[in-house]
Amino acid sequence: MAKRDYYEVLGLSKGASKADVKKSYRQIAMKYHPDKNPGDAEAETKFKEAAEAYSVLNDDQKKAQYDQFGHAPEGGMGGNPFDGFGGGGFGVDLSDALRIFMDGFGGGGGGGSRSRSRARGADLKIKLPLTLEEIAVGVTKKMKVKRFESCSDCSGTGARDKTSKTNCTVCHGRGEVQQVSRSMFGQFVNIQPCSNCDGTGEVISNPCPTCSGDGRVRKESVVSAKIPAGVHAGNYMTLKGEGNSARRGGQQGDLIVLIDEKEHELFIRDEDNIYLELGVNMAQAVNGTELEIPTLTGKVNLKIPAGSQSGKLLRLRGKGIPRINSHMVGDQMVKIQIETPVKPSKKEKELYKELAEYYSAQKGKRSIFRKIKSLL
């Protein structure tokens, strides 16, 4: 099922402010809250949909990504095993939706409702610098990541052996405690992870010596990421479950890969197009010529038409950068720069003298003054 536009879900127009997002979400969430619509599946869907839209549009980074790329394509990124850009592939279940709602508006002084029902490892962020050549065609990159990984000696449990664990007496092994809080609808039963056992339901009496009961160890691992063509500096990719392991099991965090663009020695990029300056001499500009030009994917021949002026832009179609999530490909623009000999040789001086005599004879045929077209 195609996802509805997040702004549409909240009844807003594209690019609406954070204050409007919050206000609209609050109205919709209150209207469709499950406590007010018991057993109403449609209301529950609307409640979840609004929570998802709010969780993206209320987060500056996610909102910027969403504004630029919209929903992540479904399977559109060439076998990309990850969830695409900007946290796409993201969906919320009812408990997530309730948590988002409680985080946004609930609590009313009760506090402490932000935790998840079970510990989750921290997300990690890594910067990935790419060359324009890599960006032009897409690339698979291997990255060294220092992170917490599950301890293999205790299988992530933190216990020396099976007998060194006992049920937590606070939550009676459930890992959760119930807390009643008030909100604008009346009472809420809020379920929180047990702090005595970190939500595991068990207390370790004899910890694993390798990880000292943490259930995880620090390691350096190699993670690979398939980067589609056309990314920009500031884009990011979420590698699910490649972040830190949680203490004593639980869900693994994500690895956020932040794309950076390396400066190129020749080309500059303007969105999908790349620009190159080409110096030609007077004779080449007057007579025209064909020259071998570098592009991001190898060399090509470029015809310089006879009578080319300095500043003229020649276009190599499709030699730029592909647009992400699209079939469009940018162009390479080549700017002609006519070069005047700085230290002319004797021979050049003679030839230019001859030209000068020829031009003197032509004097007065064409005005040499013109109004500047633009100051840029």
Q: Rule CB under 5 A: which residues touch Zn ion?
A: 151, 153-154, 168, 170-171, 194, 196-197, 208, 210-211
Of the pair 17, 152, the CB lying nearest Zn ion is at: 152
DSSP structure class, residue 55: H
Would you state the structure tokens that stand for residue 134, as one six-digit string? 């890599």
Of the pair 153, 350, the CB lying nearest Zn ion is at: 153
Helix (H, G, I), strand (E, B) or coil at 30: helix
Least spacing, CB of residue 149 vs Zn ion, in Å: 11
Least spacing, CB of residue 171 vs Zn ion, in Å: 3
Gap between the Cα atoms of 137 and 231, Å rounded: 10
375: which strand partners? none
Gap between the Cα atoms of 189 and 184, Å rounded: 13
Least spacing, CB of residue 211 vs Zn ion, in Å: 3
The answer to whether residues 182 and 110 touch, using CB atoms and an 8 Å cutoff, is yes
Least spacing, CB of residue 122 vs Zn ion, in Å: 19
Least spacing, CB of residue 187 vs Zn ion, in Å: 23
Helix (H, G, I), strand (E, B) or coil at 102: helix
Gap between the Cα atoms of 208 and 118, Å rounded: 21
Would you state the structure tokens that stand for residue 250, as one six-digit string? 């639980």
Would you state the structure tokens that stand for residue 161, as one six-digit string? 């052996």
Of the pair 28, 246, the CB lying nearest Zn ion is at: 246
Of the pair 167, 297, the CB lying nearest Zn ion is at: 167
Gap between the Cα atoms of 32 and 9, Å rounded: 13
- The CA R_g of the chain, rounded to the nearest whole Å, is 31
Would you state the structure tokens that stand for residue 43, as one six-digit string? 């209301």
Of the pair 151, 276, the CB lying nearest Zn ion is at: 151
Gap between the Cα atoms of 251 and 57, Å rounded: 25
Least spacing, CB of residue 233 vs Zn ion, in Å: 40
Of the pair 151, 239, the CB lying nearest Zn ion is at: 151
The answer to whether residues 104 and 26 touch, using CB atoms and an 8 Å cutoff, is yes
Name the phi and psi angles at 13, rounded to 5: -95, 160
Least spacing, CB of residue 326 vs Zn ion, in Å: 48
Of the pair 106, 250, the CB lying nearest Zn ion is at: 250
